[in-house]
Amino acid sequence: MFSLKGKTAVITGGGSGIGKVMSLLFAQQGALMHIIELDIKSATDTVNEIEANGGKAFQYACDVSKQEQVIAVFEKIGAADILINNAGIAHIGRAHTTNEEDFDRVYNVNVKGVYNCLYAAIPLMKSNGGGVILNTASIAAHVGIVDRFAYSTSKGAIHAMTLSIARDYLHDNIRCNSISPARVHTPFVDGFIAKNYQGREDEMFDKLSKSQPIGRMGKPGEVAALALYLCSDEAGFITGTDYPIDGGFITLNN
């Protein structure tokens, strides 16, 4: 089950964190991987790891917030069976403490970056007879998270975009879903704790873990497994749906 043999997959932000684990898993399941990254070194490292394990992958340096760059990359890739819009950035702040520059930066990557990839990829998918799109949203699209105004705004947009794409392209054989992770243990989390809580790393890691009702953070591999299912033929009856993967955060944390 969940074989991706013969499939071509594109993933943005596939060089690190959850995106890297997705890339490795999809390649393991037989997909030809195209990894789009701002940081080309991380993309190259992921490609090298995929190929060392017998897979095949290509990397592209691209700022997803720049439509010209995105279109040029997709022209090189051609039609893909799977698109995962995973690239994104975080921001801490409330409405009155988030300046215009930071708000625009989050919007340009997290929202416009997804739009740019959809704009470039969907015509190719249509000409190829269909495909699957998976967008990375967040629990912040569903519940209020303290000090995450710009980030929550962007992820709420991703949820709405997912519904729109699913509706508009039903008859083009294009499925579109999203996933909404809670806190997942990635190198980003470790770096955030080390930067902001020097000398209290263990304490803060434990506190952040226990803020999830299930008592721990998610694992990147758990998110990747959900993504694999939703992008596989076994999920062919699923479109226009968001899947929380949150240790009970949305429904139990009240």
User: Which of 139, 144, 137, 180 has its CA nearest to residue 161?
Assistant: 137
Alpha-carbon gap, residue 245 to 217, rounded angstroms:
11
Instruction: Tell me if residue 169 is catalytic.
Output: no
SS3 43: helix
The most distant pair of C-alpha atoms in the chain lies apart, rounded to whole Å, by 56
- The strand ranges marked E within the chain are 8-12, 32-37, 57-61, 82-85, 131-136, 174-181, 242-245
Sign of the Cα pseudo-torsion (70, 76, 77, 79, in order): positive
Tell me the two tokens of residue 219: 């694992």
CA dist 105 to 117, 161, 249, Å?
Answer: 17, 19, 27
Q: Which of 60, 151, 169, 243 is catalytic?
A: 151
**Cα 171 to Cα 206: distance, rounded to the nearest angstrom:** 47
Task: Give the phi and the psi of residue 134 in degrees, each rounded to 5.
Answer: -130, 125
Tokens of 12: 């943005």
Catalytic positions are 151
